[in-house]
Structure 1
């Protein structure tokens, strides 16, 4: 592969303008297609095959006029009187009338109005309607009154009330700015009158807002780091140009993909974040190698050698990231699969751009590639390093000084890293996961305030309602569980002299039986019948828990209800499904949590196999895998400390982490960890193989220690710069308004920090010093069957050295011939 990449790099250098033009054509073409064909992003988190999704389909089957709960564009308007007052005071009643009237007149597409009205004046009418409907259907009046009270629109103390409506749009993503503005204006009317008025619900979520400041901050910090790395303004700018082009192509491709699949609105942000980081880093590695190569050969050949050597490592490093992202499809979660595919494609583009556009730009810049030097910074003058001895030198690099310290105290360094990261991992044991809802919104948002007011006035469970769908088409009229209620209906029919329908009686009994069974659960506050389909064969039951949507007790309740569901289905012959926004979100969270161990084992096993092939060693991959677990565990730990538990009060709204963050963090961190492992350890392996496993004559180190010291010295500076750039890019995304992006940027920054500086820069060299000659040990039988992967480009280097030596000999021969002729 190194020879092929050498040709690619040299061709790109020669055909520089063709390469640049081709990339620009790709960008413009995809951009035009995206603008024309894109359909927009979708916020759904449904997972086909989950119990709640199956229940949603059962709901639509029996109630065709109703939507999937995920498509319900509901709006909640919550009113609260000042402390010591009630909403029934005339001025507040008038204020609420004004809010309702404004919504009625200015909010288009109002659909369901069942609970839409002034909570003070409409609540009695609403409750009486429930009582009458249930009594007419045969329920006892006491039961009907309890059901009506459970659905009250006004709190017991009369201070808090709410009204709800739904918008007649296909899904919450179709809610327009006109809808939102009408709701906001209505809220202000109530607030002006002295009420606290807040809005929430799926249809009143803030639209996606993407700030370009994150990219700008990341690019600015990367530019500063690159200036310190190369000491040149022009060289510092080249990786930024290639990275921006790469994420541009990746972004418009993702927008275009919305034409064919549903993509979550966080998909392009994640792809940009990752693509920007790896795009800069990959260009940095090639550019750094080019700077070394052009000092000993022509610039054209130097570009080829840089792409053939560092480019080989870039290809393999990019491949590890891509494989880790593609492996997300193994867990069979559609939106997560698409997120992984989108990010993987962006990384693929970043690799291709680095291999072709970097040498093309070097060709354009020519001798000015490292121009506009800044005196005193690295790269502005050559630094000579003695690779074979530890003799005093005018200037010793910081990387060499550090690795010599590690060589002196390897056990201490290893112990400190393991203990420190182990302690930071401990908070991860308290990890809580949830999907976005009003209860997890920012404390300063009206959505969070509305959820908190509902909790205050009506209890936590009002924010986590569940819907049970009972399909009684297959009910067993002879079921012993239903026999007492069927008999009671038979007796009533006989007393009234009416015809008795056994199947209808069994259906009615089944609805009551299910409600009673669910209501006996200790974690259920209330369960009631809220609707029957026109044919009378299916019913809807509303279940009100005691706990809120993010409380672990709600998940426990859901499991308990489904256990009861199986028993009831077996005893009666009915089919039951439990759905609603809360069950759907809990099912998604549970599915993601269940997939986490499998995915973690896949990526760790993948890391071991890949590194085994690259470095032909048993222990090097083992150390790398352990190091990855330590770094990702520590990243989880600090993320839980700050974003879930609110350490030091630095986070405004601590709370459960978004459900798909852990699995995505593992995939991305794994890919990046393998990047640094490949770039750093390949330098060590290159030195070891170049010297055929022998120490350099005169060196006071053995062959393994020498390879670690020299490889680390050559590679640490570039890897350090790359890590700092990645951390800056990721941390800059904390500025984004989307909570998931904030948390993910923080977690990725922490993961890179721990992996690059604690694992790759400390634990890896320390363990290699301690392992000694066992570091590069591989059983002979395994060595024979493993394919050889030359990612260091050693064969290319050796071939190039032979060609150069032959060219030198030929030149010397010609000089000698000319000298002989002249004599």
Structure 2
């Protein structure tokens, strides 16, 4: 592979304009296709095959005239009167009417059964429910409780709400102009002195990606590259290549929406990861080119850089690609597409780094490291002729020599420190985005808080139980008391209605259920909907237990009556997704760690190096999870104003990304050590004062630490810059990825890895001979390529010398 990449790098250098023009044409072409064929992104995280989705299908089948509750673009509009006033006061009453009228006059709506001024609608609804249910033979007390449970106005008349649906196929297809109308209506009420807030699936914040995050990341990366290369020209090339690569990747994701439904967070995560790895990969190749250019011509140096560092880039990129693509293991559609989108972006970043960097080097030629900054990266300071030698007494050399002197202490500190930080993971809570978990400053969160204040937390997390009575057993013992009260009714119909009433009664007995009530039956009385209002909100872990208890009770009802029972609703769907993600985590983690060990075994031909790398990865991931829990879930030091459960798919996605990036640093750092060890041949060095492992670890670390440090800093800054984004889950991703890279690069790769090498000694590179024979030789560090090139130079020198002797 190294030889093939050598030829690719040299060709890209020599045919620079072909390469550059090809990438630019590809960028423009993908942009044109994306803009022509793109479709909207979705804000829903739905998956097929879960119990809630199956129940939703049952609901749609039995109630074809009603909207799908999972896709419905519903809106809750909440009103609160000022202190000491009520919504019934004339001025407040008229203000609410003005809000309602503005919506009626300007907005197309569906699902308006409960739409209107809650002062008027709530008592009418209460009267209708009581009358209807008493006529059905239900006790007055039950009818009144049912009416109170769905009331739209609080007893003190201070808080009320109304509901409707946007006239849109789904919540992610709501037009911004329709959202603007709702916002205008809210302002009418606010100007009149009311607090008016809006939430619901249809009024979720559309994805807004602030370009400042990318700009901040690129600017800081540029300055880090200046300190790495000491050159303005060299600092600009990785940034340019990363922007082109990420641009193509992001546009391909936009284009993919024409055929695949993608969540709106997909392109954000792909850009975040693609930008980070794109700059890093270009940095590694450019750094190696600088080293090789001291002894080779431009084309040869570009080829050697791509053949050596580029081999590591290919392996690292393949590792990241595989880790992201392996998210398909979870069998969750939106997560699969997120992983594949990010994986494709990484793949493009690798191809751009391998070809566009040498092409740009071919354009600038000997000016590749022009625009030198005095006193930086070994450049001489102003007024001095010689610069600083970065290898003799660098910070990296001082650090690795310190680790060599006390390796056991360093290892103990790292393991204990990261282990302690991992402890909060045991209390990690997961959920999907909802109004209740939105930022406290948003109207969505305020609407949920107002509803919880006036009507209880459970109103924000309703469940819907579907009872399909097509297979009901009229002879069921539990139904006989209910059927006896329906004399004169057809036995099948009586059995169906009895199963509905029995289900309501049984579900009301479940702990954590505030109220269960029959809200609808289809025209032929073969199916019914039961609204379940829990006592807790959607972000409360107890609500999950309530859902599990409801399903268990549903199974009992099925066994007793023969009717089919399903639990659905947006809350149930989200909980199923969370449960599926948690279930997939152990398998995915096993695959990722196993993959790491196998790949590193092939690369380094060592037993212990992969084992240490895998265990170190687990430590860094655990610590990053722990700190993320402390800050974003527990609200440590008040650093975030809206602590709450973490995003359900954050752990599994973070594992995939962190694994890939961890292997990047492992490969780039340890390949340098392996190069040195191979050059020393495993023999004792300098009379046994330094063994080969110690010497190779020190020298390899010195050669790779500066570049790896720069790469890690760039990646951390790119990720942390996304904390500036408006949506909380993007902020959490940026923070978690940034802290994860920090722990892995600086604690694991630069401390734990060299410490364990010093402790293990020659065992570091031990491998059974039988295993060494059967494993393919990947030569990721490009040793064979360098030996071949050195042999070529020696042959040329010998030929030149012989020709000189002949001529003399």
TM-score for the superposition, normalised by structure 2: 0.98
Per-residue Cα deviation, 1:111-157 (whole angstroms, up to 9, x for no partner): 11111111112211111111222223332222111111111111122
Is 2:378–2:390's contact at 8 Å kept on the other side of the alignment?
no
Aligned to 1:651: 640
Q: 1:349 to 1:260 in 2, by over 3 A?
A: same
1:149-206 Cα deviation digits (max 9, x unpaired): 1111111222111111112210111211221111111111111222111111111122
Q: Could you say which residue in structure 2 is the equivalent of 1:786?
A: 775
1:385 and 1:538 map into 2 onto residues whose CA distance is 77
Q: Give 1:113-192 correspondences, 5 Å limit.
A: 113-192=112-191
How do residues 185-224 of structure 1 correspond to structure 2 at under 5 angstroms? 185-224=184-223
Match of 2:719?
730
State the distance in 1 between where 2:183 and 2:24 align: 43
Q: In the alignment, what sits opposite 2:236?
A: 237
Deviation readout 1:322-352 (Å, 9 max, x if unpaired) = 0000100011000000000000000000000
Matched, 1:461 2:461: no
Which has the higher mean CA deviation after the structures are superposed, 660-669 or 120-129?
120-129
Q: Which sits farther off after the overlay, 375-384 or 603-612?
A: 375-384
- In structure 1, the residue matched to 2:437 is 440
Does the 8 Å contact 1:229/1:379 carry over to 2?
no
Do the aligned residues in 1 keep the contact of 2:379 with 2:388 (CA within 8 Å)?
A: no
Q: How does 1:188-337 map to 2 (within 5 A)?
A: 188-337=187-336
Q: Is 2:48 the counterpart of 1:48?
A: yes
Structure 1 residues 400-479: aligned runs within 5 Å: 400-479=397-476
Q: Output one character per residue of 1:376-422: Cα deviation in whole Å (capped at 9) or x when no partner.
A: 11142666588xxxxxxxx5111111100000010111111111111
Q: In the comparison of the two structures, how many residue pairs are matched? A: 802
List gaps (5 residues or longer) in structure 1. Answer: 387-394, 494-499
Residue pairs, 1:629-640, within 5 angstroms: 629-640=618-629
User: 1:398 aligned to 392, 395, 399, which one?
Assistant: 395
Task: Provide the residue aligned with 1:80 in structure 2.
Answer: 80
Once residues 375 and 79 of structure 1 are traced to their aligned partners in structure 2, the CA distance between those partners, rounded to angstroms, is 63
Tell me the SS of whatever aligns to 2:736: helix
Q: Which moved more, 1:98-107 or 1:617-626?
A: 98-107
The match for 1:497 is: none
Instruction: State the alpha-carbon separation in 2 of the partners of residues 302 and 3 from structure 1.
Output: 13
1:68 aligns with 2:57: no
**Contact in 2 for aligned 1:232/1:380 (Cα 8 Å):** no
Residue 572 of structure 2 is aligned with which of 572, 583, 602? 583
SS of residue in 1 equivalent to 2:478: coil
Tell me which of 747, 759, 763 is aligned to 1:758: 747
Shift of 1:106: 1.7
Residue matched to 2:104: 104
Give the secondary structure class of the aligned counterpart of 1:164.
strand
Asked if 1:487 corresponds to 2:484, the answer is: yes
- TM-superposed CA distance for 1:217, in Å, is 0.5
Given that 1:328 and 1:599 are in contact with CA atoms closer than 8 Å, whether structure 2 keeps it comes out as yes
Would you say 1:29 and 2:26 are equivalent positions?
no
Q: What secondary structure sits across from 1:40 in the alignment?
A: coil
Displacement of 1:241 after TM fit?
0.7
- Secondary structure of the residue aligned to 1:162 is strand
Task: Name the stretch that deviates more: 142-151 or 675-684.
Answer: 142-151
1:242 aligns to what SS in structure 2?
Answer: helix
Query: C-alpha separation between the residues in 2 aligned to 1:139 and 1:707?
Result: 84
Question: 1:612-639 deviations in whole A, cap 9, x for unaligned?
Answer: 1111111111110110011111111111
**Structure 2 gap segments, 5+ residues each:** 381-386
* 1:770 matched residue in structure 2: 759
What are the within-5 Å matches in structure 2 for residues 293-692 of structure 1?
A: 293-380=292-379, 395-490=392-487, 493=488, 500-692=489-681
- Once the two structures are TM-superposed, the CA of residue 250 in structure 1 deviates from its matched residue by 0.3
SS at match of 1:737: coil
Give distance in 2, aligned partners of 1:177 and 1:297: 58
CA distance in 1, matches of 2:639, 2:468: 50
* 8 Å CA contact 2:40, 2:173 repeated in 1: no
For residues 87 and 552 of structure 1, the distance between their equivalents in structure 2, rounded to whole angstroms, comes to 34
Separation in structure 2 between the aligned mates of residue 481 and residue 754 of structure 1, nearest angstrom: 60
TM-score, length of structure 1 as denominator length: 0.96
Provide the alpha-carbon RMSD of the alignment: 1.2
Distance 1:787 1:317 in 2: 18
Cα deviation, residue 778, structure 1: 0.9
Contact 1:232 1:379 in 2 (8 A): no
Q: Does the 8 Å contact 1:486/1:505 carry over to 2? A: yes
2:700 counterpart of 1:711:
yes
In the other structure, the counterpart of 2:384 is: none
Quote the residue 2:383 is aligned against.
none
Deviation of 1:510 after TM superposition, in Å, equals 0.2
Q: 1:814 aligns with which of 784, 803, 806?
A: 803
SS at structure 2 position matched to 1:198: strand
Aligned-partner Cα distance in 2 for 1:307–1:162: 63
How far apart, CA to CA, are the structure 1 residues paired with 2:302 and 2:142?
82
